[in-house]
Structure 1
């Protein structure tokens, strides 16, 4: 049975979207993946879409979602490091990845964030596969 994981950020427009995309590509065999934000936002950041495309992942159809758009309860809740208190989402495990938001900065910041997220998602997948989570 797959573990439900939700990646949550304020706007669901960059980091949480990249995490969702990586987790779906790399962990689809063990994860049921969602992402959401705590506030409305109009689009996924173009820098995030561009750097994920460079890595072979198409996010052109992604759009920001709210917590009300995902299941009320998940197994794993990952926050991105938004420096805000996320609302309570029932789950058996939660962690904060403490990632800086590259929005508004150079494209290299988006690339660095993309690569950090990939590493963290790979680690998450290994922990799920090893029944640590």
Structure 2
């Protein structure tokens, strides 16, 4: 008998960068063992540089959309991961037994500098989120 796949929500402020990166990697590492969603307390659109750095790692998030957390009010999530302090503080209540996780990642979209410096920061944050996502799936889903 196939086990029920877990439903996981990644929550960020604007659902434009960090939560999009995490959604892409969690989906990649979980395969069919989890349903991954991402949302924001606000919606800012998917950041083009986030799409670009994920494509560099052969993960396509170009079809992702920026969604507001209220759009998922009818889904019974097993876990909610907040990837920034603002989202953690503003995270709405989810009914039922929902495991909550928090890891504050730097926001690469806030960095100013040369185009190369900005892309280097996107890549650095991508690697942090990739490692966290792999660990999360191995400990929470594949345990």
- Whole-angstrom CA distance in 2 between matches of 1:104 and 1:7: 20
Give the count of matched residue pairs.
129
- In our comparison, the structure showing a higher alpha carbon Rg is 2
Q: Which runs of 5+ in 1 are unaligned?
A: none
2:53 aligned partner: 51
1:69 aligned partner: 71
CA contact (8 A) 2:13 2:84 kept: no
TM-score, normalization: structure 2?
Answer: 0.83
Deviation of 1:54 after TM superposition, in Å, equals: 0.3
2:110 aligned partner: 104
CA contact (8 A) 2:16 2:43 kept: no
2:115 aligned partner: none
1:79 aligned partner: 82
SS at match of 1:4: strand
SS at match of 2:66: coil
2:29 to 26, 30, 33: 26
Q: Which runs of 5+ in 2 are unaligned?
A: 112-117
What's the CA shift string for 1:2-24, capped at 9, x where partnerless? Answer: 11100001110000011111111
2:127 aligned partner: 115
Segment drifting more, 108-117 vs 80-89? 80-89
Are 2:23 and 1:10 equivalent residues in the alignment?
Answer: no
- Whole-angstrom CA distance in 2 between matches of 1:17 and 1:114: 10
- Whole-angstrom CA distance in 2 between matches of 1:108 and 1:38: 27
Output the aligned Cα RMSD.
1.4
1:89 aligned partner: 94
CA contact (8 A) 1:30 1:125 kept: no
TM-score, normalization: structure 1?
Answer: 0.89
What's the CA shift string for 1:73-102, capped at 9, x where partnerless? Answer: 200100002334222223421011111111
